[in-house]
Amino acid sequence: MKYQELISEFETNLDSLESCTDDILYKAESGINKSEKCIKRLRRKVVEKGFTSKNEEISFFKHIKPQIFSRLIYYVKLFNIESKRPRSSSKYQVKYLNNHIDKLQVFFNDNLEFYHYYRRGATTLDEEYFVRGKSDLRLPTESYHFFI
C-alpha cells in the first residue's frame, strides 16, 4: 500500500499551519484536528485494503502510522500545557514548565527500553510491538489509544 502521498499532504498542511500564525493554542487545536482527520483516512485505507502479510502490517505500525500519530501526541501535549499555563509572573511560568519537563522526563525514562528498541532499528520484538491484537495492558491511558 502507498501512504506516502497522504503523509506528504499531511506534512504540507502542518507546515502551512506552523507558518500562518503565532497563536499557539490555534496551532495546537488545528494540529489535533488535522492529525485526527489523517489518522481516520489512514484507518479507512487499512480497513479497505487490509495487509497482505505480517511484515506489511509491522511496517505500517512501525513506520507509517507514527509519522502522523506522533504529531497528534505533540499537539495534544502542546494544547494541554499551553491552555493551563499560568498567565502570572515569569517565575510561576518557569516553575510550571519545569514541572511539565519533569513529567515528560519520567515518561521518557519509563519507556526507555522501547525507545532504544525503536531508535536502533531492532526487529526481534516487532511482532509483539507492531502487530494488532498484542496490546499491552500495562500501557497508561495517556498512550492515546482512546483517540483511535
Blockwise average pLDDT, block size 10, the chain, 148 residues: 88 94 94 96 93 95 95 96 92 95 94 92 92 66 46
Query: Residues near 5 by Cβ (< 8 Å), separated by ≥ 6?
Result: none
The pLDDT, as a whole number, for residue 7 is 95
Give residue for cell 499555563: 85
Contacts of 38-45 with CB under 8 Å at 24 or more apart are 38/6, 38/10, 38/68, 39/65, 39/68, 39/69, 39/72, 39/147, 39/148, 41/6, 42/3, 42/6, 42/68, 43/148, 45/1, 45/3, 45/6
The pLDDT, as a whole number, for residue 2 is 78
27 and 17 in contact (C-beta within 8 Å)? yes
Concatenating the DSSP letter of every residue in 121-136 gives T--TTHHHHHSTT---
The pLDDT, as a whole number, for residue 134 is 67
Greatest C-alpha distance within the chain:
57
